[in-house]
Chain A
Amino acid sequence: MAVLETFYDVMRRQGISRRSFVKYCSLTAAALGLGPEFVPQIAEAMETKPRTPVLWLHGLECTCCSESFIRAAHPLVKDVILSMISLDYDDTLMASAGHQAEAILDEVMEKYHGNYILAVEGNPPLNEDGMYCIIGGKPFVDQLRRVASGAKAVISWGSCASYGCVQAARPNPTQATPVHKVILDKPIIKVPGCPPIAEVMTGVITYMQTFDRLPELDRQGRPKMFYSQRIHDKCYRRPHFDAGQYVEAFDDEGARKGYCLYKVGCKGPTTYNACSTVRWNDGVSFPIQSGHGCIGCSEDGFWDKGSWYARLQDVSGFGIEASADKVGMAAAGVVGAGLAAHAAVSALTRARYKGDDV
């Protein structure tokens, strides 16, 4: 029976040698920030544990999380994880469609009740009873609630599922809502990013499969191993920040010399993610390395926090693009002028007062 296969069985069946398998285990341990003593543990888990079914649902989304996931850098990760996890339902990737696909969903939910992992990409829109996102003829929010009820844990893939992302940006007409505000009774792991880094996604799944528990999460529910430091903390341009060397415009000398992108709005100092360490596309590069500031895509509400090219978010109600500093300066000017006027009137009344009494 396919469902009782272990990861190792699958790997061997796919023609992966024992040597490559052990290499993969070492790489995974390193990726998860674990010491070499965990390698045998990972190997043993892969060899003995039956695969946990993963049901992957798609709500209001752009599918960039899936695009990222299937491009997981290391070939082994791509080939193995994808077939290794028993990805029993993923309407974008699976061969079957329509009624057949929905039948698998029901079957897995029943057979593995309380034991499968629910991975959610995108989020449910709640307005108009969820009619803005229909899956198989029914609102997505209904499917989400139904599948979540029997899940062991829920993974929120990407910023949509974790925070709402672009479809939840103001004024949010469909009332797109992050998963943790809809599913209240299950452990939820947020893996934010637009999209999240492929190795981060596979790393989270591998950890859960190997150790049969959730990775250690931070206050917001993100795995600490990937989201406990800012882009800024490990950025290779950080020395230029500390020195006071910035790109002032995208075509200046500083840009050519690779100075810090802080002044052109880099959100690295406020963004928790692993881009500056893991990087993208097999470690080739990441936004800052290619000369553009971080846009903070893995942070809550990044669409609503002002320009990607400004340090601070705009102040609404004071003109189109007033910054906090412009408003503050203007207020200081008004207060200063007011104080000067007040002082002048005070001096006049004082002059009169002296005449009266002394």
Chain B
Amino acid sequence: MSASDRLLTDAELKGTNLEGLHARPLRARRLLTVYVYEAPVRLWHWVTAASIVVLAVTGYLIGSPPPSLSGEASSHYQMGWIRYLHFAAAWIFSVGFVGRVIWAFMGNIYSREIFFLPLWKKEYWKDLLDEMLVYAFIKKQAKTVVGHNALARTALFFCFTLTGLFMIVTGFALYSDGTGIDSWEGRVFGWIMPWQGGDLSTHFLHHWGMWVIVLFVMIHVYTVSREDIMSRQTLISAMTNGYRNFRDDRPD
């Protein structure tokens, strides 16, 4: 361990808010904190997370509806509400996605990371391999990163950014079934269905997209929690308050 992230002594707490406490059991250290995720990114993240939950649940129910209801048709609107929630959440997801793309141009350099992969940089490939070795329990720790690590960035790019875009495009194409082929959705996205081999194929692929995103969310939640505990930087708090703490100052 380098000198900068060593544990503090009782004497060093003098003159701080911790004065009078024992340093040792607190494992008090002085560490670097960086501001990485700006407010619009954080807001977008949680809005998108909520909309994905609604979209996945309602989308699954549209494909496999709950048991049939009895009574008069006029006294229920179950599928109507399920579809309404799906479309409302889809609009929130889509507008958020567009807003996030715009923010990539306005925000800090970390706000651009999920939209492209620096495939031409040797460093990216090395970091990707390192991160994989860590997850294979071969290496103990990877280097610290301010934004996303190379493996996270790759997964985000394919499983969120590209799949999300695919879901928006196929989703609006399917939405044009209801709004009509002359609606703007039909004119802009309607070509998707004949191109994919028909309406049913687009339904099918849109359904697959959900499962890709569901699996991604599972892995995302696990790895973020794991990194927050085991890696050399914090992750969960970075997406709530924007600040990332490093657990050591070692140069990589």
Contacts and interface: CB of A to CB of B under 8 A. Distances in A.
Interface of A: 218-220, 224, 228-230, 232-233, 239-248, 253-254, 259, 262-263, 267, 269-272, 296, 299-302, 305-306, 311-313, 324-325, 327-328, 331-332, 335-336, 339, 342-343, 345-346, 349-350, 353, 357-358
B215 A332 contact: yes
B137 A245 contact: no
A261 to B, nearest CB: 11
B191 A219 contact: yes
B214 A229 contact: no
Contacts of B60: 325
A246 B203 contact: no
Contact of B200 (A232, A247, A270, A339): A270
Contact of B79 (A242, A296, A300, A328): A242
Contacts of A253: 70
B197 A228 contact: no
Given A228-B180, A332-B218, A346-B226, A239 B203 contact: no
B16 interface: no
B200 A219 contact: no
Contacts of B65: 244, 246, 262-263
Interface in B177-206: 177-178, 180-182, 190-191, 194, 197-201, 203-204
Given A224-B181, A263-B68, A339-B222, 16 more contacts: A218-B181, A230-B177, A233-B178, A239-B74, A240-B73, A244-B68, A263-B65, A271-B199, A301-B201, A305-B198, A305-B200, A313-B201, A325-B63, A335-B219, A346-B137, A350-B229
Given A324-B207, A335-B215, A229 B200 contact: no
A335 B177 contact: no
Contacts of B66: 244
Contacts of B70: 245, 253
B201 A305 contact: yes
Contact of A331 (B137, B215, B229): B215
Interface in B39-87: 60, 63-70, 73-80, 82
B26 interface: no
A327 B64 CA distance: 15
Given A312-B203, A328-B214, A243 B177 contact: no
B211 A324 contact: yes
What's the dominant secondary structure at chain B's contact region?
helix
A270 B27 CA distance: 62
Given A313-B204, A324-B208, A350-B230, A243 B137 contact: no
B1 interface: yes
B135 interface: yes
A216 B135 CA distance: 58
A257 B213 CA distance: 38
A300 B181 contact: no
Q: Lowest 5 A-B CB distances belong to which pairs? A: A244-B78, A328-B211, A270-B199, A243-B76, A300-B198
A130 B200 CA distance: 31
Nearest to B1: A357
Given A269-B177, A332-B215, A343-B222, A324 B204 contact: yes
What's the dominant secondary structure at chain A's contact region?
helix
A228 B207 CA distance: 24
Contacts of A244: 65-66, 68-69, 76-79, 82
A245 B181 contact: no
B62 to A, nearest CB: 9
A335 B218 contact: yes
Nearest to A229: B180
Contacts of A254: 68
Nearest to B196: A300
Nearest to B190: A219
B211 A332 contact: yes
Given A243-B69, A300-B198, A270 B79 contact: no
B140 interface: yes
Nearest to B72: A243
Interface string B14-43: 000000000000010000000000000000
A339 B27 CA distance: 30
A246 B27 CA distance: 62
A342 B204 contact: no
A312 B68 contact: no
A332 B207 contact: no
A312 B180 CA distance: 22
A339 B214 CA distance: 14
16 contacts: A228-B181, A240-B73, A242-B78, A242-B80, A243-B76, A269-B177, A270-B200, A272-B199, A299-B198, A299-B199, A305-B200, A312-B200, A324-B207, A325-B64, A328-B214, A350-B229
Q: Residue among B69, B79, B180, B198 with the most chain A CB within 10 A?
A: B198
Contacts of A343: 222, 226
A230 B174 CA distance: 12
Nearest to A242: B80
